[in-house]
């Protein structure tokens, strides 16, 4: 007779070992890709190198991603979403400050900054890479447009706000400073930048 502590008492459906291993392998590939990208840049990254670093077969990588560009941007989508998550503080000022603070923290990580500049440059030179890169950019822009839309619904911003232009204004200082390097990306400035932006959007 099965007791409470016996294996027969557990009626939860068991997960197949194959699926678990597959999920683990996929995550290993994503982690390896992000790590190699920030170590050596997009140009030096290869599918063979990723497979070796993740301890999987090269065919396994190609089964999930049709190209190096698709793999890199999928990996970076997961990585950046973890580093710069979608905030939900209850106010647009809090949300923007939190988001911009996390965004500006890249300034403290030279390898991450270099990798991101390299991705932007590659997207201008390689048409095949441009589309995966644009899709990634769009995913990050969606985080901001969602924040602004929520603010409109709460009455914090005008109903006729141009969301696309407002989103450009959020990311503009980040990309300009990252690419040109004329001024630092300083997280301590995030609150001030967020408030100046909001005052402009409100017409103050």
Q: In this structure, which topology does domain 16-66 adopt according to CATH?
A: Arc Repressor Mutant, subunit A (1.10.10)
**Range(s) of the chain covered by CATH 1.10.10.60:** 16-66
Q: Which CATH class is domain 84-202?
A: mainly alpha
Q: Per-residue pLDDT tens, the chain, 204 aa: give them.
A: 444 343 344 443 434 445 557 889 999 999 999 999 999 999 999 999 999 999 999 999 999 999 999 999 999 999 999 999 999 999 999 999 999 999 999 999 999 999 999 999 999 999 999 999 999 999 999 999 999 999 999 999 999 999 999 999 999 999 999 999 999 999 999 999 999 999 999 986
Q: What is the pTM (predicted TM-score) of this model?
A: 0.84
**Range(s) of the chain covered by CATH 1.10.357.10:** 84-202
- Using alpha carbons only, how large is the chain's radius of gyration in Å? 21
Residues 6+ apart with CB under 8 A from 83: 102, 105
């Amino acid at each position: 007779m099965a007791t409470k502590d016996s294996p027969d008492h557990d009626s939860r459906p068991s997960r197949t070992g194959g699926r678990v291993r597959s999920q683990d392998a996929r995550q290993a590939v994503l982690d390896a890709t992000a790590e190699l990208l920030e170590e050596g840049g997009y140009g030096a990254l290869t599918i063979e190198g990723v497979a070796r670093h993740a301890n999987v077969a090269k065919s396994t990588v190609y089964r999930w991603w049709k190209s190096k560009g698709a793999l890199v941007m999928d990996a970076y989508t997961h990585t950046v979403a973890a580093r710069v998550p979608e905030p939900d503080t209850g106010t647009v000022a809090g949300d923007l400050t939190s988001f911009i603070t996390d965004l500006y923290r890249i300034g403290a990580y030279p390898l991450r900054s270099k990798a991101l500049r390299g991705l932007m440059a590659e997207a201008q030179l390689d048409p095949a890479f441009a589309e995966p890169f644009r899709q990634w950019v769009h995913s990050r822009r969606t985080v901001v447009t969602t924040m602004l839309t929520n603010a409109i619904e709460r009455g914090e911003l005008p109903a006729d706000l141009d969301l696309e232009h407002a989103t450009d204004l959020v990311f503009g200082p980040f990309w300009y400073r990252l690419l040109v390097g004329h001024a630092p990306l300083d997280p301590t400035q995030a609150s001030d930048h967020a408030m100046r932006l909001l005052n402009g959007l409100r017409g103050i």
